[in-house]
Amino acid sequence: MSDTDSFIEEVTEEVRRDRLFATMRKYGWIAILAVVLIVGGAAWREYSKAQTEARAQAFGDSILSALEGEDEAARIDALNAIEAPSSDGNAILQLLIAAEEGSAGRDGDSVARLKAVSDNAEVPQIYRQIASFKALTRTDGGLSADERRAGLEALAIPGQPLRVLAEEQLALLDIETGNAEAALERLIQLSQDSEATAGLRRRASQLIVALGGEPQSG
């Protein structure tokens, strides 16, 4: 390569470097900003995750502490003083308070609280169904047998998560209202239901025997 060619090569390379540096000076802030945003976004996500976990842990600790009260009244007051971090958490909190109210003999208050949860469209469906189920199974909650039956039949629709439990309660309601034949038929079906737990099938079989029926095998 001649000296002229070498000189031209060096000049060309220098021009390229100058253009690169000029471009970096002009647009380099964009790359820096992108890096800052990426790093900052990752840090914020980690911070938010840590804050959420801390709130959830504090919520759980406060519930455990409240449940250590000496009697139902103390536990109810302590639970009522807790601030839930989310709608899910509040639904769980209300279910716990309702359970304590029921234990304290305040069935009317318990059912009213459970119905408030079950009627709240902002609460996840599973919590609403649990609240409805618990309200319907309180015989001293002020609901008539017909109201309880209608609610339980809605929960016993195929595909519902509490179907088999609702079927069991419907059988008990049949017994309560003097319809032993309907109860026996429902219990026989329940004792063979593949979705029923072993404990539930065992309870169904025991009730079948108590009603004078024959437990079904299979």
**What DSSP line would sit under 88-146, residue for residue?**
HHHHHHHHHHHHHHHHTT-HHHHHHHHHHHHT-TTS-HHHHHHHHHHHHT-TTSS--HH
Nearest residue to 155 via CA among 180, 136, 141, 139: 136
- Band of pLDDT at residue 103, cut at 50, 70 and 90: confident
Is the pLDDT at 141 greater than 70? The verdict is no
State the pLDDT at residue 19.
66
Cα angle 69-71-76, degrees, rounded to a multiple of 5: 70
What is the per-residue pLDDT across 62-75, written as a single tens digit (0 to 9) for each? 888 888 888 889 99
Domain count, the chain: 1
> Residue written as tokens 């038929």?
185
Query: How confident is the model over 198-211, as a mean pLDDT?
Result: 91
Question: What pLDDT, on a 0 to 100 scale, did the predictor assign at position 87?
Answer: 84
- Write out the two tokens for 144: 């008539």
pLDDT in tens, 106-116: 888 899 999 99
**Helices (H) and strands (E) in the chain — how many of each?**
9, 0
Q: Provide the 8-state DSSP code for 195.
A: T
102 located within any domain: no
The amino acid at 150: A
How far apart CA 49 and CA 52 sit, in angstroms, is: 5
In a domain, 103, yes or no: no
pLDDT averaged over every residue in the chain: 82
Q: Does a structural domain hold residue 187?
A: yes
Domain hosting residue 197, numbered range: 149-218
pLDDT of residue 67: 86
Whether 190 is in a domain gets the answer: yes
Tokens of residue 44, six digits: 């914020």
Is 167 contained in some domain?
Answer: yes
Contact (CB, 8 A) for 152 and 136: yes
Q: Is residue 78 part of a domain?
A: no
Say if residue 16's pLDDT is above 70: no
Residue 153's pLDDT is what? 94
Contact 111, 100 (CB under 8 A): no
Averaged pLDDT for residues 84-92: 87
Res 34: pLDDT: 62
| Residue 175, domain member (yes or no) | yes
**187-193 contacts at long range (C-beta below 8 A, 24 or more positions apart):** 187/211, 187/213, 188/213, 188/216, 190/164, 191/215, 191/216, 192/216, 192/218, 193/164, 193/167
Mean pLDDT calculated for residue range 25-42: 64
Q: Mean pLDDT across the stretch 171-189?
A: 93
Residue 7's pLDDT is: 46
